[in-house]
Amino acid sequence: MLRMLQKRTSMVKLLVPRPRLNTTIAQTTIKEIPTIKQVSISKSEKTVGRWFLGVSGMVFVAVGLGGVTRLTESGLSMVTWKLTGERMPRSQEEWAQEFSKYQQYPEYKLKNASMTVEEFKFIYLMEYIHRMWGRAIGGFFLVPAAYFWKKGYFCPKTKNSVLLLGTLIGLQGLMGWYMVKSGLENRFEDQNDVPRVSQYRLASHLAAAFVLYALSLSQAMSKLFPSEPFVVKAKKAFNIKGLSHMTKGMVFLTAVSGAFVAGLDAGLVYNSFPKMGDSWIPDDMWQFKPIQRNITENPTTVQFNHRILGITTVSLATALWLVTRRMQLPKRANWAINAVFAMAWTQATLGVTTLLNYVPVPLATAHQSGSLVLLSFALWLSHEIRFLKYLPK
């Protein structure tokens, strides 16, 4: 009986090919795992990407120049506008002619009546550089765009983006002059009035610049280092994408509120932190009637709103950093999160320092440029986690 059982056992072993069965299972398991192919970037795509990056870089510089122009109160020195640009005065006679034009407008009459021609040259030069840089952006965009379009470097989606960017660049120039005109209008009658551009038009001008920068930078990133899909294992799938988009939106909203602060010189009304004077909420926040005017026209309310938006932005960036600490994310995504977190706190520190020092030009310029750096990191983060997927543990 024992011999018969041994023979039957050996027959079963022969009938079931175990090594082949194990190999087949292993092969099936390997085939089920999705592989991420490395995205190849063509030479033309790289060229277009570098061009988009150049456009975004020039817009970044334009925002910085605009901040300096505003802070040095130079924006109303040029009282005319030409599409092709104004010629820089060369002789003393030409400078005198430009100065005589400036003397006819409210800023000179109510604020700079003692200004000399030599002092006028500085503010004129600041505004001239800002305007000519804007026209340089137009040329840097238009000429390569026409060449790339003719050569077929643009896919249909990129063509739509190029048309949108070109429209925004053109409108930005018109918006700039529309903003300047608001400061040249004869609406400052009282001797205590401060001639300045409309804070609404200033905010629109800055917001358009930020949108232009964001679109061009996003296009550059998609061409130079496309987003790659990745999977995160988590017991509870926290919406990182939603939080990153909220942070990005708050960065933009805080920057636009900063334009209202600049337009109303609201950075000079309460130069203390964290309280505003002796109070957490000042008594003069709602003194304008109707009450909604205070949100955009009362310097105290405008500064208060900017503080709240800034604190909210820092809180969101910190929450995003804390939530993702235990997640296994790709290196680039981790770098982007760390960059957003570090820059948010740096920007907040710059803002408080600028306020406590009564808005000096270097600090205020750094603060405005810092908002664009923070937006850049937020855009980078959104780009990196674009194809994020969750896998429950």
Q: Is the peptide bond before 274 cis (omega within 30 degrees of 0)?
A: yes
158-161 long-range contacts, CB within 8 A, separation 24+: 158/48, 158/219, 161/215, 161/219
Residues 167 and 242 in one domain: no
Same domain, residue pair 200 and 280: no
pLDDT surpasses 60 at 14:
no
313 within domain boundaries: yes
Instruction: State the average pLDDT over residues 261-284.
Output: 95
Q: What is the pLDDT of residue 193?
A: 72
Q: What is the pLDDT of residue 20?
A: 42
Residue 212 pLDDT exceeds 60: yes
Is the pLDDT score of 35 beyond 80? no
- Which of 339, 348, 347 lies closest to 383, judged by CA? 339
Split at pLDDT 50, 70, 90, the class of 389 is confident
More confident residue, 235 or 305: 305
9: pLDDT strictly greater than 90: no
Number of separate domains in the chain: 2
Same domain, 176 and 215: yes
Residue 368's φ and ψ, nearest 5 degrees, are -65, -45
Same domain, residue pair 240 and 309: yes
pLDDT at 235 over 80: no
Residue 353 included in any domain: yes
pLDDT interval class at 26 (50, 70, 90): very low
Residue with tokens 């429209």, as numbered in its chain = 167
Query: By the 8 A CB rule, do 350 and 374 touch?
Result: no
pLDDT of the residue at 39: 59
Mean pLDDT of all residues belonging to the chain: 88
| 220 and 232 both lie in a single domain | no
| Host domain of residue 372 | 227-392
Residue 94 sits in the same domain as residue 213: yes
Does residue 195 sit within a domain?
Answer: yes
Q: Are residues 159 and 206 in the same domain?
A: yes
In a domain, 30, yes or no: no
Residue 14 included in any domain: no
Least confident segment among 20-24, 201-205, 375-379: 20-24
Do 237 and 157 fall within a single domain? no
* Average of per-residue pLDDT across 275-301: 95
Residues 154 and 127 in one domain: yes
2 in a domain, yes or no? no
Q: Of 226, 242, 267, which marks where a domain is finished?
A: 226
Length, in residues, of the chain: 393
Q: CB within 8 A of 182, min separation 6: which ones? A: 197, 198, 201
Q: What percent of the chain has pLDDT over 90?
A: 76
Q: Cα separation of 262 and 207, whole Å?
A: 13
- Mean pLDDT value across residues 107-121: 94
* CA 125 to chain CA mean position, Å: 27
Query: Tens digit of pLDDT for each residue in 246-272?
Result: 999 999 999 999 999 999 999 999 999
Select from 200, 226, 252 the last residue of a domain.
Answer: 226
Indicate if the pLDDT at residue 185 is higher than 60. yes
> How would residue 232 be classed by pLDDT, with cut points 50, 70 and 90?
confident
Q: Is the pLDDT of residue 93 over 50?
A: yes
pLDDT given for residue 120 in this prediction:
97
Q: Does 288 lie in the same domain as 169?
A: no
155 in a domain, yes or no? yes
**pTM for the whole structure:** 0.87
Are residues 256 and 201 both part of a single domain? Answer: no
CA 73 – CA 177 distance, rounded (Å): 16
Q: Is the pLDDT of residue 15 over 50?
A: no
Do residue 175 and residue 233 come from a single domain?
no
Q: Tell the residue number behind the tokens 């340089």, with chain if given.
A: 136
> What confidence score (pLDDT) does residue 85 get?
86
Residue of 296, 301, 297, 339 lying closest to 321 (CA atoms): 339
Domain boundary at 191, 226, 261, which? 226
Q: Is residue 143 a contact partner of residue 135, using CB atoms and an 8 Å limit?
A: no
pLDDT, tens digit, for every residue of 365-374?
999 999 999 9
Q: Is residue 18, in this structure, part of any structural domain at all?
A: no
Number of helices followed by number of strands (H, E) in the chain = 13, 2
